[in-house]
Every structure is written in structure tokens, then in C-alpha cells.
A = this chain, B = another copy of it.
Amino acid sequence: MKPRPTLEDVAGMAGVSTATVSRVLNQPERVRSETRSRVKAAVAHFDYTPHFGGRALASNRTNTVGAVIPTMENAIFARGLQALQESLAEEAVTLVVATANYDPAREADQIRTLLGRGVDGLVLIGEARDPSIYAMLERRGTPFVLVWSWRADCPWPCVGFDNRAAARAMARRVLELGHRQVAMIAGITRDNDRATARVEGVRDALREHGLNLNASRLIETPYNLEAGAAAARHLLAATPRPTVIVCGNDVIAAGALNAVRSLGLEAPADVSVTGFDDIDLALVLDPLLTTVHVPHRRMGEAAASLLLTPHMRNAEVRNVVFETTLVERGSLAPPRK
């Protein structure tokens, strides 16, 4: 089997130096068009592709950015990732995705792995993580951006929305409709600032009405159908029965709706259910899910543009916030009188 062609092979055939070939590949405008086409012909002849390692070594860049997300198993991050990838691809940057399964240790591992692969930048979900990780990132000087959460005074570049405010808005609407028996199924708040903020948001709204979220009315579960259903069954067994279950995300809400149905109850007549994130799932449930719409794609695009901006490090626009909107569909209605 013949060895892969090298720059030298191409250069030889085109009758130029390897430097010129390299230039044709990286800064074509710096080479006379005549030479350029000769080189291109040689490249085509050998079906030459630059060796990634050689390139990375010499230029100290990989044109790769990494993203560490909690999971691919549900569609929550899919749309954002897709947008991120598309935006990066426009600049010939490849996206490498790793999953951490909501486990901080595993996340740290994955971050290290990606850094080891020499990613030029990193996209991380949320802000909550061990300071040592941020220290490592800064020490290595690898640019990174946090997505899916946002605080005005976040010390790192971040692109997201105010989870707390969004949850608060949802809860306010719930209360406005007259609900007073409010229960919540949140994601696991530990090490998850988004889940935490969403709980706080709901608490805020309740407090405004002189209510609070009793411990027995709040369950934290993993983000999956079965867990959501189990939690809902538990909550619905209480007396008085909640008239609404506010869920930490759409997947949990879907599970809750399943539980409602399996208990012989009907949503929203007997109990309302709300979600968060507005993934496709929300549109296939029956009733359609009232949820918080999140700008998935725009977050992905913004993250890409932050990462691709070289002057990113010079403060300025390192902090992008998007609005969320409340999408009212069938799963939320006033409580039965």
C-alpha cells in the first residue's frame, strides 16, 4: 500500500517548494494565480489532504472546538449543538462533542480529554463547576464559553438566558390562573445551576403570593420520562392534590403527563402540567405542552461567534443574554373550581 502523499510530493510535482504549497492551502491569495493552479492540479492529482498532526504541530492550532454536554439521549441540546456546529463549519472549524451525563467528575474528565486533543475552544453547559476547572482553563489559556445560563455578572463569557426569571414568569402565569396547590418536579439541582435557578424562579413567584414551595411539593429527579412519571405519581398521591405540576423541563413534563394519564386523571382538567425548554416533544404530547421557549439555535450561533472572535479575550461582548417566551398550549388551564 502506498504511503499517504505529503506536501513534498505535491511540491515536487508542481515544481515549487513546500512553502508555496502550504501557502496555496492556507492563504491562496498570497500566491500568483498561475502557480496556484499548478499546485492545485498537483494536489488533485495526489488527492492530497494535509496531515492533521503535522499541521497542528506546526501551527499550534487544530481548528477544532469541543463541547461538553450532559447528554445526547434527549433532544434538549441537539438543536443548539446543530446550530453551533453549522456556525463553526462556516469557518472550517470542527466540533467535537463529549457527554458527561450530569456528572461533575465525568465532565472534568471530558474537559481534560478535549484539552488534550488540543481544542482551540470549549463550549460548556452552565456555570456550576469546580473552581479548579476554571483555573485549569485559564492556565491553559483555552478560550471557552458557557451556554444555557446567564448572569449579568458572570465572570466568564456566557451565552444564555435568565433561567430564574423564565421560571418565575411561568409560575406567575400559573398563579394568575388561580392555582394555589402548586407542585414542582425539578431536575437534580446539585451541580446544576439551571435546575437550581428554575426552582428559585418558581419560589420567587410563590413568595409574591405569600405562598411557598413546601418540601413535600418539590421533587428533584433526573431528566427522563420514567423519573418524571414516578415523581408525578408521588405528588399526585398527596392530599390535597396539587392542581398544577410545574416541571423543570419538557422531558419530565412528558413523564408527568404519562403519569397523569395512567392514574386515570386528565390534564389539564384535573391537573395542569408545564414544561421548560420547548423541544419538539412538547408538540406531540396530548395535551400540547405549555412551556418556556428557549432560543436554542441562537445560543449555538452566539457561542460559535464568541469562540471564533479572536479578540474575545478583551472583555467587551463576552456576555450574551436572550429572552425566553412563555408558550401557552393546552396543558395549562385554570384549576377546576
Contact = CB atoms under 8 A, between A and B. Distances in A.
A213 interface: no
Given A72-B81, A82-B72, A281-B281, A53 B50 contact: no
Contacts of A136: 47
A53 B140 CA distance: 16
Nearest to A283: B225
Interface in A260-295: 261, 280-281, 283-286
A139 B285 contact: no
A85 B118 CA distance: 19
Q: Determine chain A's interface SS by DSSP, over half rule.
A: helix
Given A53-B57, A57-B54, A94-B96, A74 B64 contact: no
B116 A49 contact: yes
A23 interface: no
A1 B138 CA distance: 10
B78 A284 contact: no
Interface residues of A, number: 55
A139 B47 contact: yes
Contact of A75 (B4, B54, B74): B74
A10 to B, nearest CB: 15
A208 B335 CA distance: 54
A55 interface: yes
Contact of A56 (B56, B73, B141): B56
Total identical chains: 2
B53 A54 contact: yes
Contacts of A57: 51, 53-54, 56-57
B49 A280 contact: no
26 contacts: A47-B136, A47-B139, A49-B116, A51-B57, A52-B117, A53-B53, A53-B54, A53-B56, A53-B62, A54-B57, A56-B56, A56-B57, A57-B57, A72-B81, A73-B75, A73-B79, A73-B82, A73-B280, A74-B78, A85-B98, A94-B113, A94-B114, A94-B117, A225-B284, A284-B285, A285-B286
Q: Which of A72, A95, A112 gathers most chain B CB within 10 Å? A: A72
A258 interface: yes
A108 interface: no
A71 B98 CA distance: 16
A33 interface: no
Contacts of A123: none
A327 interface: no
